[in-house]
Amino acid sequence: MEALEIFQRYELKYLIPYDVYEQVTEQLQKRMKFDPYGDENGCYNIVSLYFDSKDDKIYNETRNNLNFRQKLRLRVYGKSDLNSTSFLEIKQKYNRVVNKRRTLITLNDAYDFFYNNAKNEAHYNVSNRQILGEVNAFSSLYELEPSVVVSYDRQALAGIDEPDLRVTFDFNLMTRNDNLSIEDGPDGNLFVDQNMVIMEVKVSNSVPYWLSRMLSDYECERKSVSKFCTCIDMANGLIKPYQPINPQVASAAGSGF
């Protein structure tokens, strides 16, 4: 995975049927290439641990659609263990602009930082000590603690002539709150129908005309999809998990298509 630590961009979300995904990706490959950090089809798995306060400050900021809101998460890509590198990340959103600030840290050190309340920043070997300090301040101010695990398979493409353009597709979206160890990999309840795919268009400035036209042709409508809030709702029994009704879709996404 790329080790870019600070970046700002627009992120536009869509919820599309699986058959539309197949048609869109076929067209995208004419102008985009698969993410080299994934397999030959640009696929990889993501497992993230999200944090919140006992009174759900982060959840409420997101649900109430505040102009400025932020989240804290600990993320690994692919198979991992306690010695694996993880990303400790603050994700901020102001209106439509997303700002991400993250530092590399071993998973074992990240757990020690939070679970043992060992907030001596100088003790840890990280790629960006300033961001670790921001994480410390944010988590202390909000009194954050581990809340829920979110995992999914992702396929990513990057623009050939537009290097700042990325399009991602997320499948097999699962959540759990009974086991918060992200090194245990993807597992839990499905919180999105497996016949649907979350597509995100990520760009530094404006969406290219050719892509806007394509999304219009395939009737892709923007939809606000908060993975974190949906998972909290499921953990609280407000929504029921989806059943794995389409094993072929699950098998295709899990095997890298």
pLDDT digits (tens, 9 = 90+) for 72-127: 999 999 999 999 999 999 999 998 899 999 999 999 999 999 988 667 788 899 99
Q: Where are the alpha helices (DSSP H) in the chain?
A: 18-28, 57-63, 107-115, 129-142, 209-217, 227-235, 247-254
Under the banding of pLDDT at 50, 70 and 90, the label for residue 247 is low
Digit-coded pLDDT (tens) for 162-179: 989 999 999 999 999 999
Distance CA(207)–CA(97), nearest Å, equals: 13
User: Is the Cβ–Cβ distance between 218 and 210 less than 8 Å?
Assistant: no
The pair phi, psi for residue 69, each rounded to 5°, is: -150, 160
User: Is the Cβ–Cβ distance between 195 and 17 less than 8 Å?
Assistant: yes
Annotated domain spans of the chain: 6-254
Q: Which CATH architecture has domain 6-254?
A: Alpha-Beta Barrel (3.20)
Distance CA(60)–CA(172), nearest Å, equals: 25
Give the residue among 160, 134, 123, 139 at the shortest CA–CA distance from 49.
139
